[in-house]
Structure 1
Amino acid sequence: MMEFPKKLTAKLTERQANNALRKLPVPNGLIDLSSNDYLGFAKNDTIFKNAASILDKKGITANGATGSRLLTGNNGLYGELEDLLSDFFGSGSALVFNSGYDANIGFFSAVPQRTDVVFYDELVHASIRDGIGLGRAQSYKFKHNAVKDLSRQIDRVRESKMDSDIYVVTESVFSMDGDSPDLEALVATCETKGAYLVIDEAHAVGVFGKKGEGLMNELQLQKKVFARIVTFGKAMGCHGAAILGSDSLKSYLVNFARSFIYTTGMPPHSLATILSACEHVSATNKEQNQLRTNIDFFKSELKAHNLESHFIPSNSAVHCCLVEGNEKVKKWSQQLQENGFDIKPIMSPTVPKGKERLRFCLHSFNTEKEISAVLLQLSNLF
C-alpha cells in the first residue's frame, strides 16, 4: 500500500493539535438533545407504516431508482410528491433533490450567471458556500442578519454592475445559532433593490407554520421570494430536499443543475416516507404544539438558572450556549453526557474560533423533567 500523502498527514496532525479532529460517533442511548429529529418523526411508527402502505397500494417493490431522473429513475411517486409539496408549501412548483446539500449545490452552481452577483449571510451553511464556490458569479458576504449592511453592499455593486442580476441568500433559521433574520425587512429590501431572494428553510420546516410549512409561510412571505430550499432530514424525520419556486425555475434546474442531472434518483421508499411525513404533519399539530411548549419551557428555565446571557437568543428548536475553546467545550459536553444527556460540542472550524458552543436541540418528545435537569447540570459548570 502506498504511503499516505505527507501534506494530508500534516493537515490531520494540525487538526489533532487543535483538539478539533472529527471522528464518527456511535449510538450512546443517552437522552436526545442533539439530533435534528425535532418532531420525533424519524421514529414515528405511523409514518413508517403509512409509507409501506403507499408502496403496497401502488404495487411498488423496487429497492432502487435504477438511474437518474432524466433516464430511468423518475418513477410515478416523484410527480405525486412534487404536486403535494407545491400545494403544501404554497409554491408554483417543487423539484425534489437527494439531499439539502445537493439542492444548494445544484441551485447556486447553476442559477447565478457569470455576470451576476450573490450576497450571502456570513453564517450560511457550508452547502450554500460550496454551491456559490462552484458557480461563476461574483459573491460577497454580509454581516450576520444585518439587513442595512446588505442594503449598502447592494447599492455599492449596483453602481458598477447595472445590468447584473443580484441574488441574496440566507437561512430562515440558522442551524448553528438557532436565530433568524428580520425576514420582513429582508423581503422589503430585496423588493426595493430588485434582488432575487433565496431562503434556506431546512431548520424551519416542521417547526414553524400552521402545519409546519416553515417560517416564510408563517409570516405570509412565501410568495415574495425567488426560491426556497426545504429539507426532509430534520423535523420531517426522513431524507431528501426540494427547491420551491416557479415552473420556469424548475425547468431551468432540470436542465442545468448538475447535482440533479448526474445522480441516481431516490429509492421509492424514501419518496413514500416523505409523502407519509407530509400527510402526518398536515393531519395533526400534536407534535408541533408539544415542541413549541418545550421551547417555551426551555427558555423559562434559562431565566430560572440565570443562563440567558450565555445563550444566543432563539425562538427555534436550536439553542446554543457559547463556551469558548475546543478543549473546554468538549470537556463540558463530555460531563453532560456522563450525566445522561446527549449534548454535542460544536467546535472551530465548524464555527469561528472563540465562538465554540454546546448545541441544544429540543424535541417534541423531551420532557420538562429532562429539560430542567440538563440546565441544572449546565448551570453547575459555570
Structure 2
Amino acid sequence: MKTKSHTNNEDVIAAYMAMYEISLNEAIILSSRETPKERLETYLEWHGVFDQSSYMLERCSMHSSFSIDAIPATDLGTGAAKDHFAASETHLIKRWTPIGNWFHDRGKLGLDPYQKSTGGNILPFVSGSLRDGTPFSGVNFASQDYLSLSSHPRLVKAASDAAARYGVHSAGSAALMGNSDLSLQLEKKLEEFLGFKECTLFPTGWTAGYGIVRMLAQPGDHIVMDMLAHACLQEGAEASGAKIHRFPHLSNEGVERRLKRIRSSEPSSGILVVTETLFSMDSDSPHIKELQAVCTAYNAVLLVDCAHDLGCIGPTGRGVLELQDMVGKVDVLLGTFSKTFASIGGFVATQFDGFRTAVRACCGPQTFTNAMTPIQAAVILEALRIVESDEGQRRRLKLRDNIDYLRTQLKRHGFVTLGEPSAIVPVVVGDCSDARTMTSFMIKNGAIVNLVESPAVARNQSRWRLQVMSYHSHADIDTFIECALKARADVLWEVVETG
C-alpha cells in the first residue's frame, strides 16, 4: 500500500526558513515558486524595494506558446491557466483561446468547478448548473450572503418599490445626474454608521477599490501594500504609476521598515498604505490601531478594505474595526455591499471635507461610469436597517454559531482551516490534483463549494473558501462534513490504487 508523503516538501520549507530567515507562511509561499529567479523576486518584494509585484509577474509572465494538444493530459489535473497563454501569437484574441480550451477539456473530465450558475434563490440548499450545463444541487457553501438577506421579504419589497417609483436605471454618472435621493440617503446613513464625515458610493466594489487607489497615488508617490491585498487594490496600484512596495502579510514591522526607508530618501513624497480588515483567502486580520499609528508617524495615508466583515462581525455589525476600537479612526475606509448587504456596489469613506466632490469629479471609475441604480440603493438601505436592528444582531449570533460549529467539526476530522472565525472558512486541500478531484466529488455528491487555486494562492495551498450563512443549520454543516470525508477518502483510495 502506498500513500502520499509530504516529508520532502516539509524539508524544503524548513530549509527556506533557515536560508532566508523568514516565517513559516513566507517559506510556504517561496516553496511554491518554481524557479530561483521567482523565489528571489518574491523575497526582494518582501524585504527590499522592488517595483514589480509578484501578482503582476504571475499574470504577465505567461510565456507558453504551446497549444493545448501539446500539453500532457496530466496538466488538466495539475497545470495552471497561465501555462496556456500563447504569448508568441500575434493575434491578440488567439493568445487567450488556448486557456478557454484548457478549461473546456478540464470540464470534460469533471475538473472545472468555475463559472457555475444558480437557478433560484440563494439559500443553504441551492440548485444550478456548471458551465457546460451539467446540473447540480446540494448544501450551499459557495455563495456570499452572510446574513442570509438576499431573499429577505423587506429587501425584495424595497427593490420592488424602488423600481416602481424610480425605474430600473440610474441613467447617468454620479458626476452628472446619475444619483437618486435614495443613493444620497444611503451615503448619509453610511456616514452615521461608519463614523466618517464623507462617504461616496460606487456601482461596484471593484471600481471602488481600483479607482480610489489609482486616484490617491500618483507617479512619484509610493504604495506600501500587504502582499495578499485584493486584486482590485493590486491592479489599481499598478495602474497608478506609483512605486509599489509589498510587505509580508500582516507585518506592521514590515510596513514601518518600508516607511522609514522611503521617508529617509524622499521626505516629500506621498505614501499610501493598503491593507484589509479581513483577508478573504486566509480569514485573518492586521492590528489596525497599531498600523494607523505607524502611518500617522510617517505622514502616510492608511486605506483599509472592509469587504468581508462589515455588517456581519462585531456587536453592532461594524466589523473588525469595531472589535479593535477603530470605527471612524482610519484615514480611508473602502467597502462593498456584495457580501452582507445583498447587493452589488461599493463605497469610500473619509474624515476630510470636500473629498466626495473630488472623487465624483476626478476618479475615473466613478466619473465615467453610471451611478448605482435606485434599486441597489434601496436594497442596501433596507439591509443596513436590518444590520443595525435586533434582528441583525440575532442573525450575527446565528452566523457565529454556524462558523464555530463548522470549524470545530472540520478540525475534529483532521481538516486544516486557516485564520480566525469569520464567515469565510478557508480549508486547505493541498495540491491542484487532489483539490480538483475532491472538488469535483463534492459538487457531484451534493456539497457545493468554490475552489481557489494558483495564482490566487500558492500552488501547494489550493483550498475551498467556504462561505457561511446565518440560515445554515447544523444539519447542513453535518451533511457537508460527511461529503468532505468521502471526498478525501476517495482521493486517498485513488493514490493507493495507482501507487
Establish whether TM, by shorter chain, passes 0.5.
yes
The whole-number CA distance in structure 2 between the counterparts of 1:4 and 1:294 is 47
1:220 aligns to what SS in structure 2?
A: coil
Greater shift, 12-21 or 93-102, is seen at: 12-21
CA shift for structure 1 position 202: 0.4
Equivalent residue of 2:466, what SS?
A: strand
Q: Identity of paired residues, percent?
A: 26
Q: Give the conservation status (yes or no) of the 8 Å contact 1:167–1:198.
A: yes
**Aligned partner of 2:433: which letter?**
E
Does 1:35 pair with 2:143?
A: yes
2:176 pairs with 1:45 = no
For structure 2, list consecutive stretches of 5 or more residues without a partner in the other structure.
Answer: 1-90, 119-127, 129-136, 490-499
Give distance in 2, aligned partners of 1:71 and 1:302. Answer: 51
| 1:341 equivalent in structure 2 | 447
Distance 1:16 1:170, change over 3 A: farther
Describe the shift of the 1:329–1:306 C-alpha distance in structure 2 as closer, same or farther (beyond 3 A).
Answer: closer
Structure 2 vs 1, CA of residues 12 and 269 (structure 1 numbering), >3 Å: closer, same or farther? closer
CA distance in 2, matches of 1:133, 1:18: 32
Contact 2:112 2:436 in 1 (8 A): no
2:448 paired with 1:357: no
Q: 1:348 to 1:22 in 2, by over 3 A?
A: farther
Q: 1:296 aligns with which of 404, 412, 418?
A: 404
Alignment of 1:202-217 (within 5 A): 202-217=307-322
Aligned pair partner of 1:131 in 217, 233, 236: 236
> Counterpart of 1:255 in structure 2: which amino acid?
A
Equivalent residue, structure 1, for 2:115: 24
SS at match of 1:222: coil
Q: Hey, what does 1:120 align to over in structure 2?
A: 225
Give how far 1:4 is off. Answer: 7.9
Aligned residue number for residue 333 of structure 2: 228
TM-score under structure 1 length normalisation: 0.91
1:68-217 → structure 2 map (5 Å cutoff):
68-217=173-322
Note the alpha carbon deviations across 1:101-131, whole angstroms, 9 max, x for none. 0101210111112221111111111111111
Which residue pairs with 1:67 in the alignment? 172
Distance 1:149 1:348 in 2: 25
| Residue type of the alignment partner of 1:38 | Y
Distance 1:17 1:269 in 2: 40
SS at match of 2:244: strand
User: Pick from 408, 420, 433: which aligns with 1:327?
Assistant: 433
- What is the Cα deviation at residue 322 of structure 1? 1.4
Identify the range of structure 1 (142-151 vs 118-127) with the bigger mean alpha-carbon deviation: 142-151
CA offset at residue 15 of structure 1?
6.8
Higher alpha-carbon deviation: 127-136 or 27-36:
27-36
SS at match of 1:43: coil
**What is the CA–CA distance in structure 1 between the aligned matches of 2:306 and 2:450, rounded to whole Å?**
22
Inter-partner Cα distance in structure 1 for 2:380 and 2:461: 35
- Which runs of 5 or more structure 1 residues have no equivalent in the other structure? none
- Asked if the contact 1:198/1:228 (under 8 Å) is kept, the reply is yes
Distance 1:269 1:304, change over 3 A: same
> Are 1:317 and 2:423 an aligned pair?
yes
Contact kept, 8 Å, 1:124 with 1:170, in 2: the verdict is yes
SS of 2:434 mapped into structure 1 = helix
Aligned positions of 1:267-278 closer than 5 A: 267-278=373-384
What is the total number of aligned residue pairs between the two structures? 375
For 2:395, give the aligned amino acid: E
Amino acid in the other structure paired with 2:397: N
Distance 1:25 1:291 in 2: 25
Q: What is the deviation of 1:171?
A: 0.9
Counterpart secondary structure, 1:251: helix
Q: Give 1 or 2 for the bigger CA radius of gyration.
A: 2
Evaluate the alpha carbon distance shift between residue 138 and residue 17 of structure 1 in structure 2; reply closer, same or farther with a 3 A threshold: farther
What is the one-letter code of the residue matched to 1:378?
A: A
After superposition, give the CA deviation of every residue in 1:103-160 in whole Å (9 maximum; x if it has no partner). 0121011111222111111111111111111112211111111111221122122221
Q: Check whether the contact 1:112–1:118 (CA below 8 A) recurs between aligned residues.
A: yes
Q: Would the aligned equivalents of 1:305 and 1:376 in 2 still touch at CA under 8 Å?
A: no
Alpha carbons 1:89, 1:217 under 8 Å: kept: no
- The alignment yields a C-alpha RMSD, in angstroms, of 2.3
Which structure has more relative contact order (CA 8 Å, sep 6+)? It is 1
- DSSP 3-state at the match of 1:7: coil
Contact 1:47–1:280 (Cα < 8 Å) also in 2? no
Task: Measure how far apart 1:331 and its partner are.
Answer: 1.2
Query: What amino acid is aligned across from residue 285 of structure 2 in structure 1?
Result: S
Q: Is the 8 A contact 1:254 1:261 kept in 2?
A: yes
Q: Give 2:267's aligned amino acid.
A: M
How far apart are the structure 2 equivalents of 1:305 and 1:112? 47
Tell me the CA shift for residue 217 of structure 1: 2.6
Instruction: Give the distance between the partners of 1:157 and 1:256, measured in 2 at CA.
Output: 27
Distance 1:251 1:160 in 2: 33
Distance in 2 between the 1:18 and 1:174 partners? 29
* Equivalent residue in structure 2 for 1:287, among 386, 391, 395: 395
Q: Is 1:9 the counterpart of 2:97 in the alignment?
A: yes
Runs of 4+ in 1 over 4 A off after TM superposition: 10-23
| 8 A contact 1:51–1:276 mirrored in 2 | no
- Alpha-carbon separation, structure 1, partners of 2:401 and 2:225: 33
The code of the aligned residue for 2:208 comes to A
CA deviation vs aligned residue, 1:20-78 (integer Å, no higher than 9, x gap): 9785213233211111111111111222224434x38xx72422111112222122212
Q: Distance in 1 between matches of 2:428 and 2:105?
A: 22
* CA 1:15–1:335: 2 relative to 1, 3 Å: closer
Within 1, Cα distance between the matches of 2:99 and 2:371? Answer: 35
